[in-house]
Amino acid sequence: MNREERQIRENIIAKCRWMNASGLNQGTSGNISARYKDRMLITPSATPYDSMKPEMIASMPLDGEYGSWDGPLKPSTEWRFHLDIMRGRPDVGGVVHTHSTYATVLAIARKPIPACHYMMAAFGGTDIRCAGYARYGTAELSELALQALEGRNGCLLANHGMIAVGANLDKAMWLAVELETIAKQYYLSLALGQPHILGDAEIAETAQGFSTYGLQDPKPQTKAKPTKKVAAKPAAKAGTKTRAAAAGRKPETKRSGKR
């Protein structure tokens, strides 16, 4: 394993720990994958994040024998949709799957999320679809998920949870947080009654604004360990910084080249 691959594996583990610490996920129900060259690196099945080591991350070929893997532990039981997304969506470099509470509540009610907030534009369209139900880990679930993700960067999974995808793992995790946030906002607005939904033109206008604001390509992030070599860097772009703050994320730091 070279240094670059090890860093991606470390980032996967850091993201797993972060999503549990932040409340986005519970236990080992979530799983994360990242593209590395012609392979997919994915969290192993039912392994507590605290004891996870880079060597335990499973490595699966994107174009080789379907479902084969390298590593000491079996890949996540949800490897199928991770792999099928990576194979079917060359634009995707990272996939985050969680059973985050509000997204799952809407998925239980089988409610897609309409454009209740302008941040919907970050997901590539005017809604977040809810994929139909199929048992976890099945090819059928993977097929339903891919359909719901068509032209989108996130979807709900009926009576299960959600998936967020991005050009890299950092962006996928950013969108996972955004998805859960919109789900919570939509749920609460439904409770209040009569939420107003934005129109297609308003979402298109926002998407255009994002593209010129640098929001389509947020600064790469890692959950850096608090070592003296990892100094917090100011965000390069004001837009990125503002967006991070609005998303409620901790200021991200970039891993030092000396690590």
- For residue 11, the minimal CB distance to Zn ion (Å) is 21
- For residue 127, the minimal CB distance to Zn ion (Å) is 21
Which DSSP state fits 229? Answer: T
- Kindly tell me which of 159 and 216 has the beta carbon lying closer to Zn ion: 159
- Kindly tell me which of 82 and 255 has the beta carbon lying closer to Zn ion: 82
Give the separation between CA 96 and CA 177, rounded to whole angstroms.
10
Give the separation between CA 184 and CA 103, rounded to whole angstroms.
7
The residues, any chain, with a CB within 8 Å of residue 5's CB and separated by 6 or more, are: 36, 41
Interface positions with Zn ion (CB under 5 A): 161
By beta carbon distance, the residue nearest Zn ion is: 161
- For residue 76, the minimal CB distance to Zn ion (Å) is 9
In the set 5, 10, 65, 78, the catalytic residue is 78
- For residue 78, the minimal CB distance to Zn ion (Å) is 6
By C-alpha distance, which of 46, 51, 50, 14 is closest to 28?
46
Give the separation between CA 73 and CA 41, rounded to whole angstroms.
12
- Kindly tell me which of 93 and 161 has the beta carbon lying closer to Zn ion: 161
Which DSSP state fits 98? Answer: E
User: Does 10 qualify as catalytic in the annotation?
Assistant: no
- Kindly tell me which of 86 and 116 has the beta carbon lying closer to Zn ion: 86
Count CA within 13 A, CB hemisphere, residue 59: 15
Number of helices (H), then strands (E), in the chain: 7, 7
For the annotated catalytic residues, the residue numbers are 78
